[in-house]
């Protein structure tokens, strides 16, 4: 997540349970999307997107439909790969060979390149991971 991101609205984010109740109210009870969206304080387009997601799922997968945003959609490394990188940094520090932030970003770029992972254009241009990636990596490790 961006270090300096500020919310531009004061609109509340609906919880997963609230979104599920709203979607089921529209689908099962036949309530209007506009009315349900206003009642629960959800944007109509968001409600429509989750309704379509629920309707497109099969009967066997309807119980596993997630009613929350997918925040990791642009995640570069899997959790296992991030653990591998973190373990390497810890081991290097134990041997008094700590990595600077610049070196860590460059290593992440090389690691992604060696594993044929799709990376942003800025990583190709700079031959290093971005500062935002490093900040997020520190927060999750």
Token output for 81 = 């790969």
> Could you write out the DSSP letters of every residue in the chain?
--TT---S--PPPPPHHHHHHHHHHHHHH---HHHHHHHHT--HHHHHHHHHHHHHS-GGGGGG---S--TTTT--S-HHHHHHHHHHHHHHHHTT-PPPHHHHHHHHHHHHHHTT----HHHHHHTS--HHHHHHHHHH-
Q: Which is more confidently placed, 13 or 128?
A: 128
- Top-confidence residue, 57 or 102: 102
Count Cβ atoms within 10 A of the Cβ of residue 72 and give its class: 0-12 exposed, 13-18 middle, 19 or more buried.
Answer: exposed
pLDDT tens by residue, 4-49? 667 676 666 778 888 999 999 999 999 999 999 999 988 899 899 9
- Mean pLDDT, the chain, integer: 86
> What is the predicted pLDDT for the residue at 88?
93
What is the structure's pLDDT at 57? Answer: 85
1 has pLDDT over 60: no
The answer to whether residue 70 scores a pLDDT higher than 80 is: no
Two tokens, residue 3: 């270090």
Domains of the chain: 16-64 (1.10.10), 79-140 (no CATH)
């Amino acid at each position: 997540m961006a270090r300096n991101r500020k919310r531009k609205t004061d609109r509340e984010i609906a919880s997963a349970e609230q979104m599920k109740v709203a979607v089921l109210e529209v689908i099962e009870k036949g309530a209007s999307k506009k009315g349900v969206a206003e009642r629960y304080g959800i944007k109509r387009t968001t409600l429509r997107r989750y309704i379509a997601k629920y309707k497109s799922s099969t009967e066997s997968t309807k119980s596993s439909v997630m009613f929350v945003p997918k925040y990791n959609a642009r995640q570069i490394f899997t959790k296992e790969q991030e653990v591998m990188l973190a373990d390497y940094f810890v081991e290097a520090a134990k041997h008094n060979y700590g990595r600077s932030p610049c070196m860590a970003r460059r290593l992440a770029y090389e690691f992604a390149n060696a594993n044929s992972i799709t990376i942003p254009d800025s990583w190709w241009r700079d031959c290093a991971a971005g500062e935002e990636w490093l900040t997020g990596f520190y927060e999750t490790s």
